[in-house]
Amino acid sequence: QQPVQSPQAVILREGEDAVINCSSSKALYSVHWYRQKHGEAPVFLMILLKGGEQKGHEKISASFNEKKQQSSLYLTASQLSYSGTYFCGTYYGQNFVFGPGTRLSVLP
Amino acid sequence: EAGVTQFPSHSVIEKGQTVTLRCDPISGHDNLYWYRRVMGKEIKFLLHFVKESKQDESGMPNNRFLAERTGGTYSTLKVQPAELEDSGVYFCASSQATGEFADGYTFGSGTRLTVV
């Protein structure tokens, strides 16, 4: 079992916005968001616990819908440094499972 | 505070050889996880320690993989004998709490394993 992410990949110009979605057929206990740059460790961005919750991290924010089955990550006015693969992750039982990832490329 | 430390950072071994990866979690973090990312694909769960006990090892691919965490501090992941498909980046992560109390995992930089 694994959360579903969309899109698989997105290419942006600097300054453009992007949305990455993470969804599950079952209500999620919580959703984590991570970003991994090529050759580096995944870095924790934020965690959402409550239905309807919204959180921000600089120009990166996320929401968790009321039914707790979908989370979206919003990247506003993207910068070159935003490039990387974004993973959502959640618990299925005792296991923490990552989504398949969304590769984001920001071009000058 | 020191982060999660993994070594070696890279390892190239021949098929059939043995390799041992090590992870030092953040001090005081009871929860330690091993993950693997193969060829740019998703990050796959391998196993989860709570202190020295294996909480869940359902993600371990087969019995060629052995993980230990003696004393509840650092952990090792041994692959013996290594096969070509074991190549990938092995990440370790630690957290103080888990489940709804987790505040996010801290990952090590990973060990890039190449089996030739």
Length of chain A: 108
| Top-ranked range on mean pLDDT: pick from A54-63, A81-90, B32-41, B96-105 | A81-90
**Rounded (5°) CA angle A7-A11-A16:** 105
Q: Count how many pairs of residues, chain A against chain B, have C-beta atoms within 8 Å.
A: 61
Is A41's CB within 8 Å of B110's CB? yes
Residue B67 has pLDDT above 70, yes or no: yes
Q: Is B23 exposed, middle or buried (0-12, 13-18, 19+ CB in 10 A)?
A: buried
pLDDT at A13: 96
Chain centroid offset of residue B54 CA: 12
Residue B98 has pLDDT above 70, yes or no: no
Chain B residues whose beta carbon lies within 8 Å of the beta carbon of residue A91: 99
Q: Is A8 exposed, middle or buried (0-12, 13-18, 19+ CB in 10 A)?
A: exposed
Asked if B74 has any chain A CB less than 8 Å from its own CB, the reply is no
Chain centroid offset of residue A51 CA: 16
Which 48-77 residues of chain A touch chain B by CB within 8 A? Answer: 49
Is B104's CB within 8 Å of A98's CB? no
Chain B residues whose beta carbon lies within 8 Å of the beta carbon of residue A1: none
Nearest alpha-carbon partner for A58 in A42, A36, A39, A73:
A73
Is A94's CB within 8 Å of B43's CB? no
Is the CB of residue A20 less than 8 Å from the CB of residue B81?
no
pLDDT at A57: 67
Which of the pair, B34 or A57, is modelled with greater confidence?
Answer: B34
| Top-ranked range on mean pLDDT: pick from A36-50, A75-89, B98-112 | A75-89
The predicted model gives B101-112 an average pLDDT of 83
Per residue in A54-106, pLDDT (tens digit) is 878 668 999 998 787 899 999 999 999 999 999 999 887 767 788 999 999 99
Shortest Cα distance from B28 to chain A (angstroms)?
19
pLDDT at B102: 63
d(CA A44, CA B36): 17
The predicted model gives B82-96 an average pLDDT of 93
| Top-ranked range on mean pLDDT: pick from A42-46, A49-53, B12-16, B35-39 | B12-16
Residue B55 is nearest to which of A46, A94, A98, comparing CB atoms? A94
HEC string for chain A? CCCEEECCEEEEECCCCEEEEEECCCCCCCEEEEEECCCCCCEEEEEECCCCCEEEECCEEEEECCCCCEEEEEECCCCHHHCEEEEEEEEECCEEEECCCEEEEEEC
Q: Which residue has the tokens 């801290």?
A: B106
d(CA B96, CA B46): 19
Per residue in A5-41, pLDDT (tens digit) is 999 999 999 999 999 999 988 888 889 999 999 888 8
Average pLDDT score over chain B: 90
The predicted model gives B45-52 an average pLDDT of 91
pLDDT at A27: 80
- Residue B53's contacts (CB-CB under 8 Å, 6 or more residues apart) are none
